[in-house]
Structure formats: C-alpha cells, structure tokens
Structure 1
Amino acid sequence: MRRDKHFQLSREAVEKLASQYGTPLLVLSLEEVKKNYQVLKKYMPRVRIHYAIKANPHPEILRVMADMGSCFDVASDGEIRTLNAMGVEGGRMIYANPVKLGVGLEACRDCGVTKMTFDSASEIEKIKKQCPDATVLLRLRIDNSSAHVDLNKKFGAARENALALMLQAKQAGLDIAGVAFHVGSQTVSSDPYLHALDIARGLFDEAEAAGLHLRILDIGGGFPIPEPKVKFNLPEMLKQISARLNEDFPETEIWAEPGRYICGTAVNLITSVIGVTERGGQPWYFLDEGLYGTFSGVIFDQWDFKLLSFKEGDERVAATFAGPSCDSLDIMFRGRMTAPLEVGDLLLVPACGAYTSASATTFNGFSKARFVVWEEVKEEVMPVAAEILAPAV
C-alpha cells in the first residue's frame, strides 16, 4: 500500500516566505487538495463527493474542486451565490442545512438548486412554499459520542419519526428521494458509519413497503485527518464503508459531504513571536495570530494545533501562547511544551486548513492572515521544497 504524506513546509521555506510576505501567513497547497479528493475517489469510487465549503471557502479551493468535477454541500444563500458566480451550476449543489432561511430558498430558485435536506415538519412547509419542485432527503440523527464534533446534537430526525416525515414530504408534493446522515466530525473508525448504514438500510426497506422508492443515500462527512495522539487507518476505514455500500445499497446513488478531509491538511500557518514575558513562573509567548484569527479553530472546532519552532536542543518548558488582541480571552494554549522562544522567532502550524480562516474575524482591527498558494510561490524558495509529515494514507 502506498503511503502518502501531507503538506508541511521546511524551515528554509518558512523563513524565506516570512521574509518576503510577512506574518501571519497562510500557505495553501492546491496539490494537497487534489490529492485528498483523489484518495476519497480511489477508495470509494461510487461516491459522489460534495465538498462542504463551510470548512474552507477559499476561492482557489473551490475552483480546484469544481475543475475536478466535485459537487458542493452548501448551507446558505451566500455559499450558493458564491458558487453560482463562479459558474458552478445548481445541479452540483445540495442545500444541506436542515433549517433554511427564506433567502437561502430564494437563492435556490435563482441558481437552480433543487436538492436539499430536511429533518422536521416545519421545514417541509417552507420548502413546499418556496421550492415546490425540490428533491429532498431526510436527515437522520445518528448518535456517535466518539465524534470530535457531534453534529447530531443539533440536527437529524429520530428514527421513529423518519417514515412519517418522508410520507408527509411526499404528500406535500416534494420528490422524497432518499436519506442523509452525518456521523460527526473527525470520526476515526468505520463502526459509526456501518451502524448508520444498518439504520438507513432498515429505513429504505420500510419506505419501500410504504410505497416510497428511495434512490439516494448521503453518508455525510466526518472523514479524519492526522491529529496529535490519534491513530487510524483511513484506507481500511474507507474500504470497509465502500464494501458495505456495495453490499447493502448496490443500486443506490451515494453522496458524501467531506469538508475537513479535503482542506484540513492543505494549509500551513506561519506565525511569529511578538512578545515574551513570565507570569506565575511560566513563560508567556504572544503571537501575531490568535483566537480571533486562524486559531479560531481552538474554540469553534476544539482543535489541538501543532506548533513547530525548529529550535535546536532538548530543553523544553511549559508555556502559555496568546494572540495579539487586547482581549484576555485571546489565549490559545496553556502548559504547552516548547523550546524557549524569543521575539521574532517563527512558528509553523501544519494541518490548519479546516475551520480556521473560515471563522477568523477582524476583531480589534487586526487583519485576517494573508493567503499565498504554495504552487505559485514555491519557485521563490526553491530549491527548498515542502518537507513531509507522518504518513496518513
């Protein structure tokens, strides 16, 4: 089995890019985006990928995904109109937010988006009124306490209510085409997917007996990327899911909605130390990027980012890392082991492409971190190339 490796800048590349473009700087690898998409297609060839653009809506990521033939998971009028302006037709989008705004349904009408999910009776009425020709999928609630982010706390119809809701959608004149689920973010085992597929198979059979012929199954996202202290075998996981799909849903159209997996490993952050002090016997390092910027994922995604300093020697200290704003909330890490640092030192944060810049703000007047595309700037730092992280596939 070939063991692919993930995008990570070398020390020399970090220093040259920081010198030329300043910090904080986000470096995006489009080749990594392509590779991640191709891995999913390799191990799950039947699955029609819908990139969940909420994870990272950078225009270059959207362009590359569109060029490769990907479809898209959208959740708002803004996302729909952004793709439409890029020339992505509505037939390549699914409005996968189970609770929709009126302006979102209006955007569906304007841009030709007809596929959408629902999980309640009130949603049926909204869709019927504004998009009566819609093709709809019922989103099921799938319990998975092991997920990094359990989306089922907010979305999904209970299994015992599922058939009644689908029959109600049919009675409203909607094209009830199938079932959708999401096992939760950063799921590192196939077991939750296989459990969800068992539930979906039972519901497909129950619907058929009630006169509903379902033809689409959306297995959501949740495919994992490397993170500290977490082990998984992604190819084996994907092969197990694919085998079950072939066994239980041989004639069904299969969709998926990956977000983190597509973009998570495709971005590196370069940030620098702008202040050093000591409080309570512990060193504090202030960075030029914080919770209101790329490190927003610490709060909104509960993500534990790696910090690489390229410092020599074995000395390590427990330190606090804080951002540049004047808000005392702006503290990313406490007790993080690190080599001693000085003002001006550079830190590299790999695998920070998902739920980071997407939720960054300009709070306190700080600009969002600049993006550069690695494939466009790497000639400037050659012959230095991107080094490699631990293999994940």
Structure 2
Amino acid sequence: MAKKYFQIGQLVCEKLAERFGTPLLMLSLDEIKKNYKVLKKYLPRIKVHYAIKANPHPEILRVMADMGSCFDVASDGEIRTLHDLGIEGGRMIYANPVKTGAGLAACRSCHVSKMTFDSASEIDKIKAQCPEATLLLRLRIDNSSAHVDLNKKFGAARENALALMLQAKEAGLDMAGIAFHVGSQTVSSDPYLHALDIARELFEEAAAAGLQLRILDIGGGFPIPEPKVKFNLPEMLQQINARLDEDFADTEIWAEPGRYICGTAVNLVTSVIGVTERGGQPWYFLDEGLYGTFSGVLFDQWDFKLISFREGEKKVAATFAGPSCDSLDIMFRGRMTVPLEVGDLLLVPSCGAYTSASATTFNGFSKAKFVIWERVKAEVEPSAQTVK
C-alpha cells in the first residue's frame, strides 16, 4: 500500500495565505511522528539517529527527542543546537568523517563520544582531543543509482578498512563498529544488502584479527515520494530487516535517516508575483526562489512538484524564477503548467528536506515563515487533507 503523505488543499492554501502571507511553510509534526513510527515498525532493532542537516527546525528536533530518537550531527553548531535544547551528548553521533577543531571541542564540552572516521589522519586528531571516543569506521559503498551519492566524498575503501580499524584500536580508542551510507533517495534494498554483505565480511575479518565489533550503522537514504519514481518502502525495509536478523543478530543497529523523516512533513505555499514572456515562452516569477526554499533545486538536485489550483486543460511550457535580482535565480525551465496570473498560489508538497535548511536571506529577502499545521488546522479546515 502506498504511504499517505501530508498535503494541504486549495481552500486551506487560500486561507493560510490570507492569514500569514506568502511564502509560507506548513510543517506537520504528526507527519514527523508517523515517518519515525514507520521506520521503527519495519526496522524494530534500529536506534534512529535523525540527521538534522536535512531540517534542523527546533520543533522537529523536540518531537524526535520526545519520541526517543538519537541524532546525527556534523558540526559544532549542530552539537550545540541540540545541547541548548537539553539533549544530552550521549544521544548524538558526530557523523562527519572529517572533523574540525571546533567540532571536537564541542564534543568535549557537550559530552559527545560517538563518532565516525574514514582516514588515518582522523585517528590522530580524535586520539589527541577525544581519547575516550567510541569509533565507527565509515565505509565507502558505491551506488551510482543514488539521488545523491555521498560516497564520492566520504568512506574508506574496502581494502583499507581492516587496517584502519586495527590502527584505531592500537591507538587506544574504542573501535566499536562500521558505518555506511548507500546514498540519498535509494529506492531499492539491493544497495543496502550489498553493503551488509561487505560489513559481514569485515566483522568476521576483524574478529579473526582480535577485534570484536559490536555496532553497525546502516546510514540513511530511505526514499520519499517524488515525481515519476515508484518504490515499495515496506518491502524494501522488510528485506533489510531480514538480512540484519540473519547476519547481525547480536549487533547493535543504528541508522541515520534525514530526508525520510522530514521530507514529506512540509508544504510550501508560494505566490506568482510577476508574469512576462521571453523567447516565446511565459515566465512566472514567484515570491520564493533558489535562495529560499527552492535551494533544494541547486544543492539537492530535487525536482519539486508545483501544484496550481487554476482550472484549465491547456498547458504551456513555462519558466519559473525567484524574486531576487540574480539571473541564477531560475528554478525550472520548460515546466508544463496551465497559464497563471499574478496573485495565483502554487503548492509545493514534500519540501521538508534540504530546502529551508539551506535557505539564505540573499538580496534582503526574508526566509519563508514556518507555521505548525496542527496548531492552525482546526481554524482553517476541520480535518487535515492527505493524498495517496
């Protein structure tokens, strides 16, 4: 069965735009909870570490903390953000394989001891600054089908893995396990199963060398709905879970979902603020652009869905641009749409990941305002709208 996801309707959009203005981001905390529960249902053994880089909104962090989640952090800023919310360092993993001095200092002051590494130089840094650290070796897993292939930048090669783990042990560090990330928006279990095969081999090789590993971190990469892409998430998770039970029955299992937790939890409402024609094609200027929520077009290569409530069967290929005075600020070219007018609203569902997190105030434009859906839905509509 296809997973239902959060999406508001036309009347709600109009009421919200009238009340709060646009651009506006609607965040559903119930959707965050639902996504977390789905992962725990199909992968019951995992200890979730929410990758807060995907969306560090304080309300998301509080909800995840209340549900028992741990957190994947990548910088001193993320560590201190969680610390200031009262989340203890024992619930964080410093999962950036290349650490800054400020990051390691934050680990010391906020009592973060779990971290990943993928090179010998990191062992020296960690030994010098956080000698009590518990380490996981980040393993490189090739997956060209991933939406974002993180392994182009991070991860130790398979042939170097055992030597690096033994070097960490010899340095007196707690060499505890292996971590991998198959890449963002992975829609098949195959890359995970391949990674688990390699991890199993390394666990056995480490044991033969006198190193007993006890933790396996399977990363993130779980998919969310996007245009023209289909997948069976329950089946995919069940296959991963079966392999975990078969090959890692006595191992502590961690995961680092980001996009999956927050991606479907946010809807953007944006307005058409300008209409013109260039090269025989209509151009529509929106009050949100590449420097705002649509930053995901540039940094995440995401193809956002634009929903218009204007009726009409005739569609035209149009260009959609943002409000800034930068010619780079163009989100879509040749996007099919019904003809639009100034003042028309557009709805952008499933835009909770890698959007507002990378938004800026370039050119003096404010970031889109967040509103919590559960706090206003009773005023704008008796029941929330969802779609399949």
Matches of 1:387 and 1:346, distance apart in 2: 17
**Is the CA contact 1:90–1:114 (under 8 Å) kept in the aligned structure 2?**
yes
Aligned match of 2:170: 171
Aligned match of 1:366: 365
Matches of 1:314 and 1:236, distance apart in 2: 37
Aligned match of 1:386: 384
Whether 2:23 is the aligned partner of 1:19: answer: no
Whether 2:269 is the aligned partner of 1:270: answer: yes
* Aligned-partner residue type, residue 29 of structure 1: S
**Is the CA contact 1:290–1:296 (under 8 Å) kept in the aligned structure 2?**
yes
Instruction: Report the Cα offset of residue 387 of structure 1.
Output: 2.1
In the TM superposition, what whole-angstrom CA distance separates every residue of 1:103-137 from its partner, at most 9, and x where no partner exists? 10010011110000000000000000000010000
In the TM superposition, what whole-angstrom CA distance separates every residue of 1:153-181 from its partner, at most 9, and x where no partner exists? 00000000001000110111100000000
Matches of 2:381 and 2:164, distance apart in 1: 58
Instruction: Report the Cα offset of residue 312 of structure 1.
Output: 1.2
Matches of 1:40 and 1:192, distance apart in 2: 18
Aligned match of 2:307: 308
Aligned match of 1:122: 121
Matches of 2:176 and 2:353, distance apart in 1: 30
Matches of 1:127 and 1:10, distance apart in 2: 50
Instruction: Report the Cα offset of residue 226 of structure 1.
Output: 0.3
Matches of 1:295 and 1:82, distance apart in 2: 24
Instruction: Report the Cα offset of residue 380 of structure 1.
Output: 1.7
Aligned match of 1:210: 209
Instruction: Report the Cα offset of residue 70 of structure 1.
Output: 0.2
Aligned match of 2:147: 148
In the TM superposition, what whole-angstrom CA distance separates every residue of 1:64-121 from its partner, at most 9, and x where no partner exists? 0000000000000010011011111111000000000001001001111000000000
Whether 2:333 is the aligned partner of 1:298: answer: no
**Is the CA contact 1:23–1:272 (under 8 Å) kept in the aligned structure 2?**
yes
3-state DSSP class of the match of 2:86? coil
**Is the CA contact 1:140–1:159 (under 8 Å) kept in the aligned structure 2?**
yes
Matches of 1:387 and 1:170, distance apart in 2: 53
Percent identical residues: 83
In the TM superposition, what whole-angstrom CA distance separates every residue of 1:203-236 from its partner, at most 9, and x where no partner exists? 0000000000000000000000000000100000
Matches of 1:213 and 1:180, distance apart in 2: 15
The aligned runs of 1:9-48 (5 Å cut-off) are 9-48=8-47
In the TM superposition, what whole-angstrom CA distance separates every residue of 1:327-372 from its partner, at most 9, and x where no partner exists? 0000000000001000000000000000000000000000000000
Matches of 2:372 and 2:384, distance apart in 1: 13
Matches of 2:358 and 2:69, distance apart in 1: 23
Aligned match of 1:89: 88
**Is the CA contact 1:271–1:347 (under 8 Å) kept in the aligned structure 2?**
yes
Whether 2:370 is the aligned partner of 1:333: answer: no
TM-score by length of 2: 0.99
3-state DSSP class of the match of 1:294? coil
* Aligned-partner residue type, residue 171 of structure 2: A
Instruction: Report the Cα offset of residue 388 of structure 1.
Output: 1.9
Matches of 1:129 and 1:365, distance apart in 2: 43
Matches of 1:9 and 1:379, distance apart in 2: 13
Matches of 1:327 and 1:298, distance apart in 2: 15
Aligned match of 2:75: 76
Instruction: Report the Cα offset of residue 389 of structure 1.
Output: 2.5
In the TM superposition, what whole-angstrom CA distance separates every residue of 1:304-335 from its partner, at most 9, and x where no partner exists? 00000112121111000000000000000000
Aligned match of 1:284: 283
- Pairs aligned (count): 388
What are structure 1's unaligned runs of at least 5 residues? none
Whether 2:227 is the aligned partner of 1:228: answer: yes
Matches of 2:129 and 2:172, distance apart in 1: 12
Matches of 2:248 and 2:371, distance apart in 1: 42
**Is the CA contact 1:14–1:270 (under 8 Å) kept in the aligned structure 2?**
yes
Instruction: Report the Cα offset of residue 382 of structure 1.
Output: 2.2
Matches of 2:29 and 2:3, distance apart in 1: 15
Matches of 2:236 and 2:4, distance apart in 1: 18
Instruction: Report the Cα offset of residue 379 of structure 1.
Output: 1.7
In the TM superposition, what whole-angstrom CA distance separates every residue of 1:11-37 from its partner, at most 9, and x where no partner exists? 000000000000000000000000000
Matches of 2:351 and 2:158, distance apart in 1: 35
Instruction: Report the Cα offset of residue 289 of structure 1.
Output: 0.1
What are structure 2's unaligned runs of at least 5 residues? none
* Aligned-partner residue type, residue 386 of structure 1: A
3-state DSSP class of the match of 2:308? coil
The aligned runs of 1:241-280 (5 Å cut-off) are 241-280=240-279
**Is the CA contact 1:215–1:252 (under 8 Å) kept in the aligned structure 2?**
yes
Matches of 1:130 and 1:370, distance apart in 2: 40
**Is the CA contact 1:13–1:386 (under 8 Å) kept in the aligned structure 2?**
no
After superposition, the CA RMSD in angstroms is: 0.7
Matches of 2:318 and 2:385, distance apart in 1: 27
Whether 2:142 is the aligned partner of 1:137: answer: no
Matches of 2:366 and 2:62, distance apart in 1: 24
